[in-house]
Amino acid sequence: MRPLDGLLVLDFSTLLPGPMATLLLAEAGAEVIKIERPGTGEDMRAYAPAWGRDGVNFAMLNRGKKSIALDLKNPDSRASLEPLIKRADVLVEQFRPGVMKRLGLDYETVKQLNPKLVYCSITGYGQHGPKRDQAGHDLNYIGDSGMLGLSMGSPEQPVIPPALIADIAGGAYPSVMNILLALEERRRTGQGRLLDIAMSDNLFPFLYWAMGSGMATGQWPGNGTDLVTGSTPRYRLYPTKDQRMVAAAPIEQKFWEQFCTLIDLPMALRDDSIDPAATTQAIAALIAAQESGFWRARFAGHDCCASIVATMQEAMDDPHFKARGLFSHPLHNEHGATISALPVPIDAGFRAGPDTTLSSPQLAEHNKDYLS
C-alpha cells in the first residue's frame, strides 16, 4: 500500500506545473486521470524530441497516469464527466482565470456535485490581482518576482537560468503541498476547498535573504552583488584550462582556508576582506592554469566545498546518484524502448518498486474505462 492509494485525481493541466504535481501524486499511489483534447491531446505530446508516439517530455511527466479525451466545449461531453467529478478527491487545472467557469467546471459549480473535492488552480499570477489575466512563462515570473534581477549576467552576456524554477518550485511543489494539507483538513472537516496556486507568489520564499537584507538595511541587492550571486571570491565559478568550471563555495572560514591551501593562494591574498577583487583575480588565474582533471584530483577527499561542474550525462553516470537508485526505474514506450524514469522527491518507501512497469498513456486510452 502506498500513502495515496485509493485517491482519485482529475488532471486538466498541460505542459509542466500541473503534470509534475500530478506525477508526484501518482508516484505516491493516486489514480490520476488526464483529461485531454480529442485528436491531439495535450501540447507536450507534440514537443520535440519525439520518443515513440509522443514527445519524451510528455512521457517523463505523465507516466503511470490514465488518459481520456473529450471536448470540454461540448455540453454532452462535459456531462459525461459528472460521475468522475462526484467520485474525485482532487481536481487540478491550469487554465487562465475564468476559463473553467466558462466551461461550467469552476469550483463553485463542481462543489455542488462534490463538496469534498479539493480543487487546485495553478496560474502564473493567481486568481485575483491586476496581473491575473496576463500571459507569461517561467522567465516572466522569475523576472517579475525580482529573482532574475539578482543574477542575470551582464548586458553583453545575459544568463537565462537552466531550470524552470517558477513552474516547478513555484507551481508543482506548492500544489502538492497544499493538496496534501487540504486533504488532511478534509479528513477532519469533511469539506474540500479551492486552492489558488500562483507561481509568481511562491518564488518569494527563495528570496528571503534578498528581502531581509533590503528591508533591514535599505540596501537592496543588485545583479551579482551579494554573497550567493557572485560578489565574493568564496562563491564563484572559475574556468579551468580546458574550459570546464570549478564551482567554488568555501564560504565558512575553515573551508576557505582549506581551499586556499589546495590552490596555493598566496598568503597575502587569503584575507579576502582587504581586496576581494584582487583575491578573485588571483584565484581565477590559478584555476585557469590547470585542467579540470587536476583540480578534481586536488579537491578529492578534502572538505573545501569545491568541485567540477558536471555535465548532465556525467551527473547521471555519477556513482553516488547510481548508488542511491535515482535512475533505476525504467520508463517504457510502446516500441519497447527504455530510458530512466524521472526521479521525483518522493521517499522510495512511498513509491512503487523498481520492478513496476512505467509508461505514459496513449491518448484516449481509458475512455471506455471511465466514460462508458
Of 99, 75, 89, the closest CA to residue 14 belongs to 99
Q: Which of 11, 106, 167, 226 is catalytic?
A: 167
pTM of full prediction above 0.85: yes
**8-199+326-371, superfamily in CATH?**
Crotonobetainyl-coa:carnitine coa-transferase; domain 1 (3.40.50.10540)
How far is Cα of residue 184 from the mean position of the Cα atoms in its chain?
24
Among the residues of 37-137, which ranges form H helices?
56-61, 75-79, 82-87, 99-102, 107-113
Cβ neighbour number for residue 213 with a 10 Å cutoff: 16
The answer to whether the CB of 10 falls within 8 A of the CB of 85 is: yes
* CA–CA dist 25, 7 (Å, integer): 9
Query: Does 302 qualify as catalytic in the annotation?
Result: no
The answer to whether the CB of 166 falls within 8 A of the CB of 203 is: yes
Domain 228-317 has CATH 3.40.50.150: no
User: How much is the pLDDT for 260?
Assistant: 98
User: How much is the pLDDT for 372?
Assistant: 75
User: How much is the pLDDT for 96?
Assistant: 96
Query: Does 335 qualify as catalytic in the annotation?
Result: no
Element (H, E) at 245: strand 245-248
User: ∠214-220-224 over CA atoms, to 5°?
Assistant: 130
Q: Which of 137, 318, 332, 366 is catalytic?
A: 137
CB neighbour class for 220 (10 Å; exposed up to 12, middle 13-18, buried from 19): middle
> Which residue spans of the chain are classified as CATH 3.40.50.10540?
8-199+326-371
User: For 207, which DSSP code?
Assistant: G
Number of H helices, E strands in the chain: 16, 13
Of 36, 23, 22, 30, the closest CA to residue 67 belongs to 36
> Which residue spans of the chain are classified as CATH 3.30.1540.10?
228-317
The answer to whether the CB of 334 falls within 8 A of the CB of 39 is: no
* CA–CA dist 194, 112 (Å, integer): 13
Q: What is the mean pLDDT of each run of 10 residues along the chain (372 residues)?
A: 96 98 97 97 97 97 97 95 97 97 97 98 98 97 98 95 98 98 98 98 98 97 95 98 98 98 98 97 98 98 98 97 94 96 94 83 96 83
